[in-house]
Amino acid sequence: MGRHLIRGNLQYFWHRGFFYIRRWLKKNSAAFRRRLGTGRPYSSRRYPPPRRPKPPFRISKRLLFQAAFALVLALMGFLMANYPLETGELITKAVSSGARCVASGYRWVKTELYPSLVFSFQADVEISERILESGLPAVGPGRSEKLDLVAMTKKFVATVTSVNFDEVESILEAQFLGSDFEFPSYMTERAPDPAFLPEETKPQVEVVEDRDHGDEPLIAIYHTHSSEAYHGRDLHLAGEKFFPGDYCWGESTGVISVGDELARILADEYRIPVVHSRKIHDYPVFRDAYTNSRLTLENILREYPSVEIVIDLHRDGLTKPPEEAITTTVAGERLARVAIIVGKGRPGFTNPHWERNKAFAERLHQGMEKLYPGLSRGIIVKDWPYNQELHPQAVLVEIGDHYNTREEAIKSAHLVADVLAQLVQTR
């Protein structure tokens, strides 16, 4: 028994001692190998150097530019050596075309872009005050009546966003503006409330009366773009500025003067009573033109329900039109051609009278063709009502173009008066 215990203890101590010796040898083996010269330090390890990725093959932009330039020079040298005259002419045309493009761009920026930006940023200093007065009635210390917050909110929203909760059309307009198509800003404006218009901006109507056809006017003439002017082709070719020359801002020397002549001929020569509004609608804010002219036409029709024909008199604005597109010759006289515009309307901005408007336009066009062939440029149907939904015989008439002179437009107004008088007499 005692012998077995002694053997067991010896085995235990042997195993423990061998374990500690083995652990110590493993821990200090690096030092032994270094002393014997057969190894390297335990703590140092060699790692292979990192491999750098092979850079991709690239050609610099500078090298490409130099190669292209050298190729162009070689090609030009070849052409000059074999075709000297043709190459010189080609180089001359290229240089002159580039110079003309640069000059045209500079002239466009100077004469069109810059004046239009300056004109667009001419803000009315009282606009914010007028908006607040329209949307939020002033609350003074002397006002004791109870405020209607709902009405004030509706008025404010209608003034700022042009959405009138009492008109379904204005709500549909706001929805359509976010769809796939957009409308011009000057056509999406709503008519302002006459109560908030200054006294001097209310429509001023000049009536020419005659007893032969009664006391009430039969034809109404007004001008949405009342500042449109006639500059003539010669001044355009001379490089005259487009904006100052083709618009007589705030003055009545353009289409309004042509409307004066048209009304005078109808009244003096044909004894037809005419109401002619000489009100400026497109100044100082051009985009408000159709808004203001709609209010003018509504007031005319309200005051003179006898009106049978409504003419919105304009002049066209074609870009470098050919001579035959804007002028014609009648009885040896060169005069401006006339275009008739009918507004068909579109969803949300419908014109319930557009078919009757078109029928009247066809009668007017046929009358021109019968009396003065070539005077009319035809009927153009567009997808905007142009205030023609207010009257079944309302049309937009464009007499001439900004390349025509005012004298040519006035001569055409005489012929248009002849046709209108025939339509009134045979109604």
pLDDT at 68 over 70: yes
Sorting pLDDT into bands at 50, 70 and 90, what band is 174?
low
Q: How far apart are CA 323 and CA 167, in angstroms?
A: 46
Q: What crossing angle do the helices spanning 61-82 and 84-108 adopt, rounded to 10°? A: 130
What pLDDT does 185 receive?
Answer: 41
What pLDDT does 173 receive?
Answer: 54
What pLDDT does 140 receive?
Answer: 42
What 3-state DSSP class applies to 340?
strand
What pLDDT does 182 receive?
Answer: 42
Return all residues near 334 (Cβ < 8 A) that are at least 6 apart.
327, 328, 408
Q: Which CATH class is domain 202-425?
A: alpha beta
Supply the mean pLDDT for the chain. 76
What pLDDT does 135 receive?
Answer: 47
What pLDDT does 94 receive?
Answer: 84
pLDDT above 70 as % of the chain: 66
Q: Which two tokens stand for residue 9?
A: 């203890």
Cis peptide before 284 (omega within 30 of 0): yes
Beta pairing, strands 333-336 & 327-330: antiparallel
Lowest mean pLDDT among 126-135, 166-175, 314-323: 126-135
